[in-house]
Amino acid sequence: MSRLLVRRSLTAVGIYASVLLGFLSTVVAGRILTKQEFGDFATVIYATAFFQSFFDLTVEEALVKYGFRFVTLGEWGLLRGLFRSAFRFKLVGSVLAGVGLLVFAAFAPPRLAGPLVVASLIPLGQSLEGLAGSALYLRSRYDVRAAFLAWSMVLRLAGVAVGAQIGVVEAVAGVLIGQLIATASIGVVGWAAFNRFPRAVADKLGERRREIVSFIVQSSAATGVLSLRGGLAPLLLAGVTSTTQTGIFRIAQAPQSGFQALSAPARMVLLTEQTREWEQGRQSAVLRQVRRYSAAAATLCVIAVPVLYWLMPHLITLVYGSQWAGATNAARLFLLTAAVQFVVGWTKSFPVTIGRPRLRIWTHGLETLVVLPLVLVLGSRWGATGAAGAFLAGMVVFALVWAVIFVRIRPEDVQHPADLAEMSAEEESEAGVLVR
């Protein structure tokens, strides 16, 4: 078995393990806490994700895009300058996210204030984990990154399992402690991987700064738009109904989480290898790989979705318990949403690969404009099921827009004089063979 295939296989194992462990965290919390307590816990987690995504500056994508460019050109001083600037950006965004959670806690119901204060420290730890992960991507060690994702979820599961026995505040504290330990762990490994690049004095980005900052701003804007859909929508649902409905909503999202997990290894490989290939001028190959991915994903959905749709009531009761049977209809709608999202799963990495992150802003922005009003209207009438219907409508619009964008892209292949110095002969021969 080739080294590249081993890395991809280990990446899949790590990703699937991390998602399974994250799923088990929800199951454990849902079975230990009461319905209202679980709803409160879910609301705090959604709020944390919202503020972190909205305020956190998304520098990881720029680190991968421009990091590979500087590695390709052998500009090691610029590479180190890029990471130094990214670290400063992340600190600012994390602090803003924490402050946002504290402000939200001041206006939230009293029972949510304590958990939100504890959660305000989570963005700092989680964002710095992303920097270390970016260093591993640049070494093409996405398998190690995936292993640390699994390790992070192990720690979170342990924290939730212990904390939920006491209450909501303690469950959130368990998530925080797990995240801090995970960040410290990957930080050590990520730093060691980064230092394997040739030593150089960190250079100022100079004339490249404007281009890189523009890329970061666009990526951050795209992430902010995503936070409005993924984080704000459940909070709006809680506002027009109750946190109990938010808990049902989180349970119902399990099919979507499962399908995202199924495509996650491929997406991680796509981000790393396709960005490298695009920077080396092999653009036609990248487009072919995207088409193959969508065709394979669509075939799998045609086979699996009808079966899962029929089994959904039994699966919800079996996994979460009979008290959550009311999440069945919402879960079925999220299953359809997940299928559409699975087919266009490449849309997360592709804009980064081609250096046009603004495409994510417009496409996710349009999706959000569909989702948020429908969550208020449908959610107020049908609760979590109505909100799930809003997400399905938004995802269909998102997929249609991306289909139009993709068919209009024309490749411009360029033959560079040299490929990546870090790439072995075996990897060069197999670089075009992504997950088929």
For 208-252, the pLDDT digits (tens) are 788 887 877 777 777 777 777 778 899 999 999 999 999 999 999
Structure tokens at 170: 């303690």
Which of 27, 10, 417 is CA-nearest to residue 253? 27
Which of 231, 325, 377 is CA-nearest to residue 35? 325
The owner of tokens 């987690």 is 45
Q: Reduce the DSSP state of residue 404 to 3 states and report it.
A: helix
Which of 38, 55, 53 is CA-nearest to residue 95? 55
What is the predicted pLDDT for the residue at 269?
Answer: 67
430 Cβ partners below 8 Å, 6+ apart? 2, 4, 5
Angle at CA of residue 112, ends 49 and 109, nearest 5°: 120
Q: What are phi and psi of 234, to 5 degrees?
A: -65, -35
Between CA 128 and CA 102 the distance in angstroms is 20
Structure tokens at 168: 């909501």
**Chain center to CA of 180:** 19
Task: Let me know: does 243 contact 42? Beta carbons within 8 Å.
Answer: yes
**Chain center to CA of 376:** 25
AA letter at 27:
V
To the nearest 10°, report the CA torsion of 48, 51, 56, 62: 80
What is the predicted pLDDT for the residue at 307?
Answer: 96
Which segments in the chain show pLDDT lower than 50? 416-436
Between CA 132 and CA 188 the distance in angstroms is 8
Between CA 352 and CA 216 the distance in angstroms is 11
DSSP string, 216-253: HHHHHHHHHHHHIIIIIHHHHHHHHS-HHHHHHHHHHT
AA letter at 54:
F
Which of 194, 247, 240, 206 is CA-nearest to residue 38? 247
Q: Is the pTM of this model over 0.85?
A: no
DSSP label of 435: -
Between CA 320 and CA 250 the distance in angstroms is 12
Q: 10 Å Cβ neighbour count for 428?
A: 13
What is the predicted pLDDT for the residue at 393?
Answer: 96
Which of 253, 398, 403, 222 is CA-nearest to residue 320? 253
- Which helix (DSSP H) or strand (DSSP E) does residue 293 occupy? helix 283-320
DSSP label of 282: -
What is the predicted pLDDT for the residue at 421?
Answer: 44
Q: 10 Å Cβ neighbour count for 235?
A: 17
DSSP label of 409: -
187 Cβ partners below 8 Å, 6+ apart? 128, 129, 132
What is the predicted pLDDT for the residue at 181?
Answer: 94
